[in-house]
């Protein structure tokens, strides 16, 4: 996947040009992560490009964003549990250290992860894991995308 959309992920999502978007939610966009070394990794992007932190939103929009995060987390959990019996849990994180817009990470965790990584934050995985060719989002992740999208639809029905 290449393209200018990476420079403005939220703007591209608002224009319908971000290919990682799974679903439009109440206060943001559920997107599948660019890397999939932990299959199912997803991100919730706020739908207002200038919002940098949760406290930039009025209380009602904050709660809507947090509700969207919870729904995406549950959708990832359901999909990953169905697709991989080694699924263990989902980690939810709002960090904001690198990208200057509000977003939440949804990381599935698995029993097959290396012992030294399983109990640590995902960010401590070796740098080479983040750049592996087979982990880059691509057509081979279409079934995973569909599984998460379907679960989002079920939760929102």
Q: For 1-9, what is the mean pLDDT?
A: 77
Residue 147, CB-side half-sphere exposure with 13 Å CA sphere = 18
For residue 54, give the CATH number of its domain: 3.30.428.10
Domain of residue 96 covers: 4-156
Per-residue model confidence as pLDDT tens digits over 34-83: 999 999 999 999 999 999 999 999 999 999 999 999 999 999 999 999 99
pLDDT at 94: 96
Closest CA to 43 of 52, 30, 54: 30
When the pLDDT of each residue in the chain is averaged and rounded to a whole number, the result is 94
What's the structural domain count of the chain? Answer: 1
| pLDDT exceeds cutoff 60 at 1 | no
Helix (H, G, I), strand (E, B) or coil at 73: helix
């Amino acid at each position: 996947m290449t393209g200018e959309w990476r420079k403005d992920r939220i703007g591209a999502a608002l224009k319908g040009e971000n290919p990682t978007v799974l679903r439009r939610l109440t206060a943001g966009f559920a997107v599948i992560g660019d890397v999939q070394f932990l299959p199912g990794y997803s991100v919730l992007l706020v739908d207002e490009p200038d919002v940098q932190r949760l406290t930039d939103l009025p209380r009602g929009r904050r709660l809507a964003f947090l509700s969207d995060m919870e729904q995406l987390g549950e959708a990832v959990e359901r999909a990953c549990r169905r697709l991989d019996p080694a699924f263990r849990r989902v980690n939810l994180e709002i960090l904001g250290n690198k990208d200057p817009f509000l977003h939440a990470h949804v990381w599935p965790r698995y029993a097959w992860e290396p012992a030294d990584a399983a109990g640590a934050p995902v960010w401590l995985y070796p740098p080479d894991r983040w750049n592996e060719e087979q982990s880059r989002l691509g057509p081979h992740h279409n079934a995973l995308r569909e599984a998460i999208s379907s679960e989002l639809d079920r939760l929102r029905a």
